[in-house]
Structure 1
Amino acid sequence: MRIYNLFPLLAGTFDQWQAHLVRAAEMGFDWIFVNPIQQLGRSGSLYSIKDYFAINPALCARSAQSPDEQVRAVTVQAEKLGLRVMVDLVINHCAYDSDLLKQHPEWFAKENGRIANPYCIHDGEKVVWRDLARFDHRRGGDAEGYYRYCRDVVMHLLGLGFSGFRCDAAYQIPAGFWKRLIEDVKKNRPDAVFVAETLGCSADQTRQTAEAGFDAIFNSSKWWDFGSPWLLEQYQLTRATAPSISFPESHDTARLYAESYGNVDALKQRYLFAALFSSGVMMPMGYEFGFSKALNVVDTRPSDWEQTDIDLTGFVREINHIKRHYRVFQEESITQLWGCSNPAVMIMWKAAPSNGSQALLILNKDIWNRQHCYVDDLYHYVQVAPPLRDVSPQWPMEHLPTPFDYELLPGMGRVLVAGPEVS
């Protein structure tokens, strides 16, 4: 999956989404991910859902169409552009002022006699979200009634034209619940896709969640330093269980352009790596233009759209073209790091189990300086006969010399492949 995250609060009302859908399609994305669009609770957070069957009025245009009809119009537009649409599925908690707390108090976790708030541990401190009420998936009463409610939510969203679900904090919900839900939904809609958000949990927790039947999970490659062993260790633990999705930034992180002090080469480096490391990739809107202002689930507005002189749409299109055409970048390929005489250069080898195609990704880790890469013979790094082709997005070489002696620009990646293209 090549996913473009259309952030609703930045995109504006549904009648304004067409231009964003067109741009995503032109960049070679095949999925749109939309954060929650349902009616919100008092806090105004996208992830504080008050009514799962009503649409956020802030996203609805003044129109003769009903809110549901406006959503269906968007998903139809996307489909005509070759885009499937995925929406957030938030069933680990709801807004604390939702009517569900009065109608079904037995569905919620209790703490000191009151309905509990969800929380996390951040830097050793407990962070509590007091605008949210935590569902009890383990010991709650009327578990069957709650399960049917969640299934009805999914079927309602499918009816609006969504065909995929990013399952928020999926690891916080028992695997048995997910397994039953996914199996039930796919009996009616075998094309429905479920992706687990598992960031912040262990590799074992991730694997256990993925084994519930998810079509994909998200990985943590955004935080990798291109050398430490932890990412490949995690990748190997889950590679055979479910495909994974990388991202260079997300709606939960700072903007990479701001993090890198306005370095465009950092944006190119991280998108290239995210797209080619794992089978899936996701990019939030605004990344292609070097936006600096972080997305905020409460405060972001269409007026936060930034005017920049950066346009990476062509670069992103080239990377997505590479991903679309080579099987080795479409699956959880066998992946290893090879040594390089220059520690500022990463050489990553990938091999696709499905068809034996292989790739080398040569990456300048340094986003500020040129780095020299020297390899006696590139074929020592792969187990295939010539030719090894350069399909890099910038200045691909018609012939790869032996020895390979190349000056990498800041953050630059060279992409070398061996094997057939995907028809």
Structure 2
Amino acid sequence: MKDAVIYQLNTRQFSAEGTFNAAKAELPRLQALGVDVIWLMPIHPIGEINRKGSLGSPYAVKDYRAVNPEFGTKEDFSAFVAEAHRLGMYVILDWVANHTAWDNVLVSQHPEWYLRDWKGDFRPTPWWDWSDIIELDYSQPALRQYMASAMRYWVEEFGVDGYRADVAGFVPLDFWVAVRQELEQVKPVFMLAEFEGRDFHAEAFDATYGWTWGSAMHDIALGKKDTHQLYVYYSWNERYYPQQVMRLLGVSNHDANSWEGTEFERFGAMLPAAMVLSFVSEGIPMIYNGQEAGYDKRLAFFERDPIVWQPHENGELYKQLIQLKKSYSPLWNSTWGARMIPVHNSAERKVLSFVRQNQEQAVFAVFNFSAEPQEVSFDLHLHHGNFTEYFTQQAITFSAETTLVLPAWGYQIFVR
């Protein structure tokens, strides 16, 4: 995982067919892009009782040990994993441990494994509009054993390489710790928590969400905040979280795209700079399927809505960014990479600048997070010396007198 990039694949919308086999045919393209880890959204059959839309939410699981016939068969899924492995990529599954569909096989077999409301009825999550699911009760030891066994099943039988844990913080942390230990008896796994918090990294998860990074970036794009909001995020990232952790950074995902807007709607002219920062700052970068095609549509969540694939400049930018990350070890994930060191500049509320370096290489990154051009000078001398701007390949020598002019929402990445 030292220089890994994650790609979220929504099987239903990824291809015109919406199947494992169709997705498998596209794996060489993802390999050429530079993707390392494919995160598949839930692959299980979807509940029919209280279903939303005609096809339902993949997060309303009907059977943890089966695959959604909409996507194909277990043999098709096995072939998908095998092909990804052949191409040098890993596959993690989206696992929904907090809740199930109303007609999950467990409802009739083990009704005691479910939480009840004050009336004694099965309950959806009470504070959200999740009417298509009901919550499980992790005070039941037998439920924990069942869920761990189901997760182990996909690792043992199909070679799955880990999990993205849906709403991980709604499930007791000690469950995830125990599951991680059990899965590691089979083979090394990568675990990503859809949650934000230091304690999730202690024994259970390799990576958690950088939600506050995404919120800060969105507020900056809207003009509500300035770079100070990023200083807050990176200060907490350095001092509150241990360095060996990974924070997931990206400008879109299935929830944001469907419910909040496309990356074009949410970031506007700042989008390319946000994409670049997700790769060069501390974190593990993620791409949601369709971003590399510049797809500017909110994908339907409960219906078929296939992505229309096309060449796009954002795809070329992502390819360049993946190459950049893999070529410069200071940008690697966790302790394989180097910490960000701020380089203070003359417009600190509008321009973010920092260095990441080790004994062999250095990266000096400068971002104008404002809607006006900025000319900046820099304090200290950490960035002094000879560099090459990565995207233009122009050489530059930095000294105490050097200034930079950046257009609105512009960025420059200097390497040596």
TM over 0.5: yes
Matched, 1:215 2:206: yes
**One-letter amino acid of the counterpart of residue 51, structure 1:** D
Q: Which of these residues, 56, 71, 75, is aligned with residue 59 of structure 1?
A: 71
The alignment's C-alpha RMSD in Å is 2.3
Going from structure 1 to structure 2, the CA distance change for 1:340 and 1:29 (only over 3 Å counts) comes to same
> Where in structure 2 are the equivalents of 1:231-380 lying within 5 Å?
231-236=233-238, 237-240=240-243, 242-253=245-256, 254-261=261-268, 263=269, 266-302=270-306, 305-306=307-308, 310-332=312-334, 333-342=338-347, 343-351=349-357, 358-366=362-370, 369-375=372-378, 380=381
Q: Is the 8 A contact 1:278 1:329 kept in 2?
A: yes
Matches within 5 A, 1:60-209: 60=72, 67-112=73-118, 113-119=120-126, 126-137=127-138, 139-140=139-140, 143=141, 145-158=142-155, 159-189=157-187, 191-199=188-196, 206-209=197-200
Displacement of 1:284 in angstroms is 0.3
TM-score by length of 1: 0.83
CA contact (8 A) 2:376 2:405 kept: yes
Is 2:12 the counterpart of 1:5?
Answer: no
Whether the 8 Å CA contact 1:391–1:416 is kept in 2: the answer is yes
Q: How far apart are 1:357 and its partner, in Å?
A: 5.5
Paired position in structure 1 for 2:35: 29
The change in CA–CA distance for 1:16 and 1:86 in structure 2 (over 3 A counts) is: same
CA distance in 1, matches of 2:255, 2:325: 25
Counterparts of 2:100 and 2:361, CA distance in 1: 46
Deviations 1:15-37 (A, max 9, x none): 21134322221111111111001
Structure 1 residue 296, shift from structure 2 partner: 3.9
What's the TM-score, normalizing by structure 2? 0.84
How many angstroms apart in 2 are the aligned matches of 1:295 and 1:231? 30
| Counterpart code for 1:156 | Y
Q: How far off its partner does 1:239 sit? A: 3.3
Change (3 A) 1:295 1:348: farther
Distance in 2, Cα, partners of 1:74 & 1:103 = 31
Which runs of 5 or more structure 1 residues have no equivalent in the other structure?
A: 61-66, 120-125, 200-205, 419-423
Q: What is residue 62 of structure 2 aligned with on the other side?
A: 50
Would you tell me which structure has more strand in proportion to its own residues? 1
Percentage of identical aligned residues: 21
The DSSP-based 3-state class of the residue aligned with 2:195 is coil
Q: Distance in 2 between matches of 1:341 and 1:90?
A: 47
Q: Per-residue displacement from partner, 1:311-342 (whole Å, max 9, x unpaired)?
A: 32222111111111222211344334343223
